[in-house]
Amino acid sequence: MLGNFEYSNPTKLYFGEDSLCSLNKELPKYGKTVQLIYGGGSIKKNGIYDQVMELLKANGKIVIEDGGVMPNPTVEKLREGVQIARQNHVDFLLAVGGGSCCDYAKAVSVSVHCAEDPWEKYYIRFEEPDCEIVPVGCVLTMVGTGSEMNGGAVITNHDQKLKIGHVFGDQVIPKFAILNPKFTFTLPRQQMTAGIYDIFNHICEQYFSGEDDNTSDYISEALMKSVIHSSRIAIRNPEDYEARSNIMWAATWALNTLVSRGKSTDWMVHMFGQSVGAYTDATHGMTLSAVSLPYYRYIMPYGLDKFRRFAVNVWEVDAGGKSDEQIAEEGLSCMEGWMKELGLVMNLGELGATEEMLGGIADGTLIMEGGYKVLTRDEVLNILKASL
């Protein structure tokens, strides 16, 4: 049932192969000094860096470089980015990259004018920002996290072995995002497939909650079907524009709050994955794929109707003459087959996790309450063991 909720999303999206030039519409709205945030430097090889710099200069901006954002942005990098912004009196943060760059930019945005330690304030005490927020814009070069149209910002603290996400409100969500599917053509295959599974799992986290009939569930099924269909094309031909554009668009709508309206939402797979990430520094999407099936097979009996619906509506399982359990299990087998087609990591061992780590990973796994079963610590550990 759709209970009481609010919906608004202020991000302006520019989509398509010509979308980068929309910077000419957006940049004049913000101040002169722009902190240019990017990752390991792939944008310098594929020409995106040069194109962005040209547009920044044509718009009269002073550009302050802030490269080297790592796949799981660390609290040390966050503190460095805040220093850069403070020293240069930065007016605007432009993230050029994937979810890590966008997440990092949002974390910097709420920390520049914050008098307290941002890790303590936002990630340990989960407080909301009460300072001026530096506006953020994104140019996406990787697809998956949906960070371009939401308030989420995940930061990793290796000393504390914690990887934690804070979902900030409307004032932190990027002002605009530029989505050019062609920018994703050159991504290594493992990054592409990890991103695809991240999208799919975002939808699962929202879909596998609640027993009611809900328009959000129909939309979730639509996004899942589109992602499955286009992913099969994209792994055969990474330069299939249509497939890449559908994946990019589905990614944004998978995690901009639309499909969570009226849902309690689960997020348990993400909690497992984040704790695994804190221990292994593995690619986010792969930490999710490694734990998903053991988790879903374990909770399936608690949400049998929804797993049955998932099998029939998403995987087109023929329900004739089968028990609900058989239908539901067949749906998960179809999902497993698709995950293997993509070449996803299917167990934690491949990510460098060892049996000795599992106790610590279990301790770092936040237990959520919106799914079909609130797990105990023993159940968390058992699911991790089954994922090894």
Where along the sequence are the contacts to a second copy (CB under 8 A)? 1-19, 22, 181, 212-216, 218-219, 221-223, 225-226, 229-230, 241-242, 245-246, 249-250, 253, 258, 261-262
Residues 6+ apart with CB under 8 A from 179: 13, 14, 15, 16, 19, 140, 148, 248, 249, 252
| Minimum gap (Å) between residue 67 Cβ and a second copy | 29
Question: Containing H/E element for 24?
Answer: helix 23-26
Cβ-based nearer residue to a second copy, 9 or 160: 9
SS3 170: coil
Cβ nearer to a second copy, comparing 6 with 356? 6
Residue showing tokens 């939309």: 219
Residue 115 CB, nearest approach to a second copy (Å): 28
User: To the nearest whole angstrom, how small is the minimum distance from the Cβ of residue 68 to a second copy?
Assistant: 31
CB-wise, 25 or 340, nearer to a second copy?
25
| Residue 161 or 225 with smaller CB distance to a second copy | 225
Q: What's the Cα-to-Cα distance from 31 to each of 50, 71, 158, rounded to whole Å?
A: 21, 28, 35
CA distance 71 to 57: 28
φ/ψ (deg, to 5) at 183? -65, -15
What is the number of other CB atoms lying within 10 angstroms of the CB of residue 336?
Answer: 16
The residue among 17 and 355 lying less far from a second copy, judged by its C-beta, is 17
Shorter beta-carbon distance to a second copy: residue 4 or 87: 4
State the sign of the Cα–Cα–Cα–Cα dihedral 179, 180, 183, 189.
Answer: positive
Q: Residue 100 or 265: which CB sits closer to a second copy?
A: 265
3-state class of 37 per DSSP?
A: strand
- Nearest distance in Å: CB 201, a second copy: 17
CB atoms within 10 A of CB 297: 17
The SS3 call for residue 192 is helix
Work out how close the CB of 46 gets to a second copy at its nearest, in angstroms, rounded to a whole number: 20
Closest separation in Å from C-beta 355 to a second copy: 41
CA gap 66, 85 in Å, rounded: 9
Smallest distance from a second copy to CB 12, Å: 4
